[in-house]
């Protein structure tokens, strides 16, 4: 389901102390903005020992006007551009009397209430700056802090970095040629319209900051010129009377559906070309969304003049690339932010041009124990993402989650990074862009898979029993009910993840059953079949819901991936998909056998036997190289469980190296 927090989602207040389990890893959270408090709350409720350091005097980071940390970009008219139900933490709705888009002071108050509601204010140390984070000799993390009591270094097993990424202004690089006689500020230093009164203002940039400041300037400045080097699709905050971000879609839908939604929003909002700007060179959905209800009105009124990018600065004028110029005694550079971490040595962690690839935008694969919270630009709000990341990391620290093999992590990270680079136009503002609903869905899926992995391993000290959460629980229950109603029974030991060779394609029902079984038993199924079998709507649904994984562009690469992933303590099983056995005349194909020999992975049997309404797995064993004997084991099992003994099969053509 799409993410919308309702009043009924409010969790009970935490009124008594939560016991801390000192046997769990000790963590440090840097920052008490919305991301830091999301992290602190999850660690607190999980009983994980931790400290949270905040350099300012307040909770809320960006949302505190004139924050004593000197880092907030908040201005006095700022309101959120992600509506309250889409921005609230999942178990703590914003107050019912808030407007659809809350003001900054309301947002700040909401974060204050959150901390008190869940009872973790005393875990935050204010006025204390994290100055250095480095690896300790034993591979843990040394954190040097300076606060009212002086400077000290503490050692932690994990560090959750939540220092924000909208506080270090990005000025034009390189600077525009020419000289300028007036004042130049960055949008980060904009606080109120008082700074603009009676001036000739040029606002540079096409993001949300530029849009807001240009609109405000248009009411108080002598002239307002808005310089845009690349036209954006400017969306409206409301669509058919509803906050436009509430036309939200389930995260498992493909990206093009979100893009289509944004395209509808852009078409509804109207083009910017009539104001003299060129048409955008990208499609809606290929950039971070920009919203303004008022910019068109102010352009129509002639109170804002739109101009293209800057050619040069010329004393008391700014010259644009189309040869026009505008008077200026104040330039507001709304040119975005740099992602920086002053407490890391650059050789340890740095984000050149805002690039910092992370697994699920959270985990640094080379630096165990280091996690980044809220380091995303979202087509949607940051807070629920920070909350989900934090819950995931709390699971990890509490031993309830086990990651996949290191190579899988790196492969996924690279694939996601490649995908995102294709999805959004190249700009430092897009290096961390994610689709909100898809991200939440995907992370939930990974979290559940990791909980399953953890449940099959020896529990770590203090680990709580694994459970399935969120949409996964709903799917599991639905699948259990449907399979139960159809009186299907399962036999054999259920594997955690398996590869089906020559997988279900005999009828649509096979697809449905495969999906229900994957949901019911929490199995990750990877299919090793020809790609043309995956073009139908059910094949698509299977992939989107996470019931199966498949590299459509190159199924052959799956074998290589299996080899890579074979190392973990939760290896893939190679399964013969034995469904359709009876209808296809009593034989099994055995290409799987060869793949098992090539990859060294164990074989299992996965079957859907329609007449006996039996699904099953097992037995699982390492192929011996004696195909006939190995197939007999499987055949006997099948006969025992279903009453039907498949006789023939096509023996694989084993090469010498396969037999070895
Ligand atoms: C003008 C503006 C409007 C925005 N509007 C929206 C919106 O409507 N919806 C949305 O989802 N997002 C919005 N964003 C994005 C914004 O980044 C997030 O809303 C959110 O504030 C990010 O929270 P954070 O905790 O990650 O970072 P921050 O809010 O920046 O908080 C970081 C905290 O870490 C502390 N800190 C930093 N370094 C240290 C250190 N070394 N030691 C100790 N403490 C440290 C800081 O003092 C600060 O309190 C907006 C951003 C801007 C600039
Ligand atoms: N709640 C709100 O209403 C609100 C208000 C303000 C900001 N925000 C949020 O705050 C974050 C930052 O927004 P932002 O608008 O400050 O920054 P931004 O989204 O990074 O946008 C920066 C803009 O400046 C342009 N730019 C960068 N370098 C330039 C240069 N040298 N010359 C000319 N133009 C240049 C960029 O163009 P390119 O695209 O070509 O790089 C882009 O249009 C975003 O998440 C935004 O949503 C929210």
In this predicted structure, what is the pLDDT of residue 597?
A: 74
Atom 47 in ligand 2: which residue has the minimum CA distance? 208
Q: How far is the CA of 352 from the centre of ligand 2 (A)?
A: 18
Is the confidence at residue 101, as pLDDT, over 80?
Answer: yes
Distance 582 CA to ligand 1 centre (A): 61
* Total count of residues recorded for the chain: 660
Phi and psi torsions of 344, nearest 5° = -105, 140
Q: How confident is the model at residue 253 (pLDDT cuts 50, 70, 90)?
A: confident
Using the predicted structure, report yes or no on whether residue 582 has a pLDDT greater than 70: no
The DSSP code for 531 is: G
Which position has the higher pLDDT, 329 or 487?
A: 329
* One domain for residues 526 and 637: yes
Give the pocket of ligand 1 (CB within 6 Å): 30-36, 53-56, 61-63, 69, 71, 73, 78, 80-82, 87, 129-130, 162-164, 166-167, 209, 343, 374, 381-382
| pLDDT of res. 551 | 45
Domain extent for 232: 178-333
Task: Using most ligand atoms within 8 A of CB, pick from 51, 134, 162, 164 the residue to mutate for ligand 1.
Answer: 164
Q: Would you state the structure tokens that stand for residue 259, as one six-digit string?
A: 């893009």
Spacing, Cα 468 to ligand 1 middle (Å): 31
The yes-or-no verdict on residue 376 having pLDDT over 90 is: yes
Q: Does 387 lie in the same domain as 404?
A: yes
The verdict on residue 378 lying in a domain is yes
Judged by its nearest atom, the ligand closest to the C-alpha of residue 79 is 2
What is the number of other CB atoms lying within 10 angstroms of the CB of residue 485?
Answer: 8
Atom of ligand 2 nearest to the CA of 291: 3
Cβ distance 593 to 626 under 8 Å?
A: no
Residues 316 and 435 occupy one common structural domain: no
Atom of ligand 2 nearest to the CA of 290: 47
Residues 216 and 134 in one domain: no
Choose one of 455, 488, 515: the last residue of a domain.
455
Please state, rounded to an integer, the average pLDDT across all residues of the chain.
Answer: 84
Query: What span, in angstroms and rounded, lies between the C-alpha atoms of 228 and 171?
Result: 15
Distance (angstroms) between ligand 2 centre and the Cα of 239 equals 23
611 against 241, higher pLDDT: 241
- Provide the pLDDT confidence category of residue 33 given band limits of 50, 70 and 90: very high
With tokens 């969790």, the residue in question is 11
The 10s digit of each residue's pLDDT in 10-31 is 999 999 889 999 999 999 999 9
Of 333, 362, 393, the one marking the end of a domain is 333
Residue 293 covered by a domain: yes
Average pLDDT over residues 87-97: 97
Cβ(162)–Cβ(33) below 8 Å: yes
**CA 61–ligand 1 middle distance (angstroms):** 5
Residues paired with 609 in a beta bridge: 614
Q: What is the pLDDT of residue 657?
A: 52
Q: CA–CA separation, 367 vs 390, rounded Å?
A: 17
Taking the CA of residue 380 as reference, the ligand 1 atom at the shortest distance is: 11
Which band of pLDDT confidence, cut at 50, 70 and 90, is reported for residue 594?
confident
Question: Which bound ligand lies closest to the C-alpha atom of 380?
Answer: 1
pLDDT of the residue at 458:
41
Distance from the CA of 290 to the center of ligand 2, in angstroms? 9
Structure tokens at 614: 């039996």
Residues 434 and 476 grouped into a single domain: no
Separation between Cα atoms, residue 602 and residue 590, nearest integer Å: 14
Q: Which residues contact 179 (CB under 8 A, 6 or more apart)?
A: 313, 314, 315
Domain boundary among 333, 366, 389: 333
Retrieve residue 209's tokens: 């900051």
Say if residue 427 is in the same domain as residue 550: no
> CA 410, CA 657: separation in Å to the nearest integer?
30
Q: What is the pLDDT of residues 459-518, one digit of tens each?
A: 333 322 222 233 456 777 887 888 788 777 777 666 655 555 544 444 556 556 666 776
| CATH number of the domain encompassing residue 272 | 3.50.50.60
At 640, the pLDDT band (50, 70, 90 cuts) reads: confident
List, in order, residues 6 or more apart from 42 with CB less than 8 Å away. 387, 390, 391, 393, 394
Q: How far is the CA of 624 from the centre of ligand 1 (A)?
A: 58
Contacts by 359-362, CB closer than 8 A, 24 or more apart: 359/409, 359/410, 359/412, 359/413, 359/416, 360/389, 360/392, 360/412, 360/413, 360/416, 360/442, 360/443, 360/446, 361/389, 361/432, 361/434, 361/439, 362/389, 362/392, 362/393
CB count within 10 Å of CB 35 equals: 31
> What ligand is nearest to the CA atom of residue 337?
2
Lowest-confidence segment of 203-212, 340-349, 546-555 by average pLDDT? 546-555
- Closest ligand (CA of 372): 1
Predicted pLDDT at 463:
29
Summarised one tens digit per residue, pLDDT across range 195-247 is 999 999 999 999 999 999 999 999 999 999 999 999 999 999 998 889 988 88
The residue whose CB lies within 8 Å of the most ligand 2 atoms, and thus the one to mutate among 203, 210, 380, 429, is 429
Q: Any long-range contacts for 135-144 (C-beta under 8 Å, 24+ apart)?
A: 135/348, 135/367, 139/368, 139/369, 140/369, 141/28, 141/369, 141/370, 143/28, 143/53
> Does residue 32 fall inside a structural domain?
yes
Per-residue pLDDT averaged across 165-187, rounded? 98
Picking from 381, 513, 491, the residue whose alpha carbon sits closest to that of residue 437 is 381
For residues 515 and 597, membership in a common domain is answered with yes
pTM of the model: 0.78
Question: Measuring CA to CA, how many Å separate 495 from each of 55, 453, 539, 620?
Answer: 48, 11, 22, 9
Q: Which ligand is nearest to the CA of 65?
A: 1
The ligand 1 atom at the shortest distance from the C-alpha of residue 187 is: 1
The b-or-e profile of 487-524 (16+ CB within 10 A means b, else e) is ebeebbebbbbbbbbbbbbbeeebbbbbbbbbbbbbbb
For the CA of 71, the nearest ligand? 1
In this structure, the residue with its CA closest to atom 28 of ligand 2 is 335
pLDDT for 106: 98
Number of domains in the chain: 3
Which of 462, 434, 426 lies closest to 48, judged by CA? 462
The torsion of the CA quartet 268, 274, 279, 283, rounded to 10 degrees, works out to -10
Q: Can you give 390-438 as a three-state secondary structure string? A: HHHHHHHHCCCCCCCCHHHHHHHHHHHHHHHHHHCCCCHHHCCEEEHHH
CA–CA separation, 500 vs 578, rounded Å?
A: 9
Nearest CA to ligand 1 atom 14: 382
CA angle 393, 364, 558 (to 5 degrees): 95
- Ligand 2, residue 289: give the atom nearest the CA: 47
Helix (H) or strand (E) holding 50: strand 50-53
Based on the domain organization, do 157 and 205 belong to the same domain?
Answer: no
The dihedral through the CA atoms of 97, 100, 106, 108 has a sign that is: positive
Strands, E assignment, 101-189: 124-125, 129-135, 141-147, 150-156, 158-161, 168-169, 178-180, 183-186
Query: 462 lies in a domain?
Result: no
* Residue 128 CA, closest ligand 1 atom number: 43
Do 481 and 388 share a structural domain? no
CA of 8 to the centre of ligand 1 (A): 27
Which two three-digit tokens encode residue 106?
């309301």
β-partners of residue 200 are 223
Residues with CB under 6 A from ligand 2: 80-81, 166, 172, 187, 204-210, 212, 229-230, 288, 309, 334-336, 377, 427, 429
Is the bond preceding 251 in cis, omega lying within 30 degrees of 0? no
Q: Is the pLDDT of residue 151 over 90?
A: yes
CA distance 478 to 485: 10
Say if residue 321 is in the same domain as residue 404: no
pLDDT band at 126 (very low <50, low <70, confident <90, very high): very high
Residue 11 placed within a domain: no
Q: Are residues 328 and 358 in the same domain?
A: no
Whether the per-residue pLDDT at 589 is higher than 70: the answer is: no
Atom of ligand 1 nearest to the CA of 377: 15
Percent of the chain with pLDDT over 70: 79
Distance 608 CA to ligand 1 centre (A): 51
Minimal-distance CA residue to ligand 1 atom 11: 381
**Nearest-10 Cα torsion for 381, 384, 385, 388:** -170
Closest ligand 1 atom, residue 166 Cα: 53
* 627 C-alpha to ligand 2 centroid (Å): 63
In a domain, 2, yes or no: no
Confidence of residue 326 (pLDDT cuts 50, 70, 90): very high
Is 558 within a domain?
Answer: yes
Q: Which helix (H) or strand (E) holds 386?
A: helix 383-397
Pocket test for ligand 2, best of 335, 338, 351, 354 (most atoms within 8 A of CB): 335
- Closest approach atom of ligand 1 to CA 37: 25
Residue 571 lies in a domain: yes
Structure-block tokens of residue 499 = 């590869």
If one compares 305 and 583, the residue with the highest pLDDT of the two is 305
Tell me what pLDDT residue 646 has: 75
Per DSSP (E only), the strands in 251-345 are: 290-291, 305-307, 310-315, 317-320, 325-327, 330-333, 337-338
Ligand nearest the Cα of residue 428 is 2
Atom number of ligand 1 nearest to Cα 381 = 11
Both 555 and 596 in one domain: the answer is yes
Element containing residue 201 per DSSP (H, E):
strand 200-204
- pLDDT-derived band at 552 (thresholds 50, 70, 90) equals very low
Please give the distance, rounded to the nearest whole angstrom, from the Cα atom of residue 507 to the centre of ligand 2: 51
* Closest to 624 (Cα-Cα) out of 590, 648, 600, 653: 600
């Amino acid at each position: 389901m799409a993410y919308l927090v309702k009043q009924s989602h409010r969790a009970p207040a935490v009124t008594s102390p939560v016991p801390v389990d000192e046997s769990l890893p000790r963590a440090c959270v840097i920052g008490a903005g919305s991301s830091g408090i999301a992290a602190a709350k999850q660690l607190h409720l999980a009983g994980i020992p931790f400290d949270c350091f905040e350099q300012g005097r307040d909770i809320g980071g960006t949302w505190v006007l004139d924050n004593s940390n000197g880092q907030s970009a908040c201005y006095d008219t700022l309101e959120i551009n992600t509506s309250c139900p889409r921005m609230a933490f999942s178990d703590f709705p914003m107050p019912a009397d808030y407007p659809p888009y809350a003001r900054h002071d309301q947002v700040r108050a909401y974060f204050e209430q959150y901390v008190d509601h869940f009872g973790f204010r005393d875990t935050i140390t204010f006025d204390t700056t994290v100055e250095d984070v480095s690896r300790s000799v034993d591979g843990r993390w040394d954190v040097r802090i300076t606060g009212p009591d002086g400077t000290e270094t503490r050692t932690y097993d994990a560090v959750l970095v939540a220092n924000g990424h909208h506080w270090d202004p990005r000025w034009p690089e390189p600077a525009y040629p020419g000289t300028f006689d007036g004042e130049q500020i960055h949008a980060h230093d904009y606080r109120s319209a008082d700074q603009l009164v009676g001036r000739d203002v040029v606002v540079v940039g096409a993001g949300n900051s530029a849009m807001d400041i240009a609109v405000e300037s248009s009411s108080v400045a002598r002239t307002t010129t808005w310089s845009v080097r690349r036209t954006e699709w400017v969306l409206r905050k409301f669509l058919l009377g509803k906050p436009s971000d509430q036309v939200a879609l389930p995260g498992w839908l493909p990206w093009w559906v979100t893009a289509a939604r944004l395209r509808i929003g852009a078409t509804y909002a109207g083009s910017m070309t009539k104001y003299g700007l060129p048409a955008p060179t990208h499609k809606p959905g290929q950039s971070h969304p920009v919203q303004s209800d008022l910019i068109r009105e102010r352009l129509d009124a002639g109170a804002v003049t739109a101009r293209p990018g800057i050619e040069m600065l010329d004393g008391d004028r700014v010259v644009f690339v189309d040869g026009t110029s505008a008077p200026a005694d104040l330039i507001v550079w709304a040119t975005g932010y740099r992602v920086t971490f002053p407490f890391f040595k650059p050789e340890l962690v740095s984000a050149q041009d805002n690039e910092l690839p992370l697994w699920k935008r959270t985990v640094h694969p080379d630096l165990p124990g280091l996690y980044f919270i809220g380091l995303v630009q979202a087509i949607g709000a940051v807070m629920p993402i920070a909350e989900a990341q934090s819950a995931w990391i709390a699971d990890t620290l509490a031993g309830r989650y086990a990651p996949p093999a290191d190579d899988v992590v790196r492969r996924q990270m690279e694939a996601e990074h490649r995908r995102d680079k294709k999805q959004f136009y190249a700009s430092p503002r897009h290096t961390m862009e994610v689709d909100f609903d898809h991200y939440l869905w995907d992370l939930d899926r990974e979290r559940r898979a990791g909980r399953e992995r953890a449940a099959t391993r020896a529990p770590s000290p203090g680990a709580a029993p694994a459970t399935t959460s969120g949409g996964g629980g709903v799917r599991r229950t639905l699948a259990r009910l449907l399979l139960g109603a159809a009186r299907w029974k399962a036999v054999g030991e259920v594997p955690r993840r398996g590869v089906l060779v020559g997988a279900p394609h005999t009828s649509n029902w096979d697809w449905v059953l495969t999906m229900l079984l994957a949901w019911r038993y929490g199995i990750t199924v990877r299919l090793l079949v020809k790609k043309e079998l995956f073009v139908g709507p059910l094949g698509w649904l299977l992939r989107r819901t996470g019931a199966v994984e498949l590299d459509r562009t190159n199924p052959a690469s799956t074998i290589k991936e299996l080899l890579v992933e074979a190392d973990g303590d939760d290896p893939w099983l190679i399964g013969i998909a034995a469904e359709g056995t009876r209808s296809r005349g009593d034989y099994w194909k055995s290409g799987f056998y060869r793949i098992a020999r090539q990859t060294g992975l164990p074989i299992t049997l996965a079957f859907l036997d329609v007449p006996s309404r039996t699904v099953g797995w097992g037995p699982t064993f390492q192929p011996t190289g004696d195909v006939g004997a190995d197939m007999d084991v499987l055949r006997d099992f099948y006969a025992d469980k279903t009453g039907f003994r498949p006789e023939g099969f096509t023996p694989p053509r084993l090469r010498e190296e396969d037999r070895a």
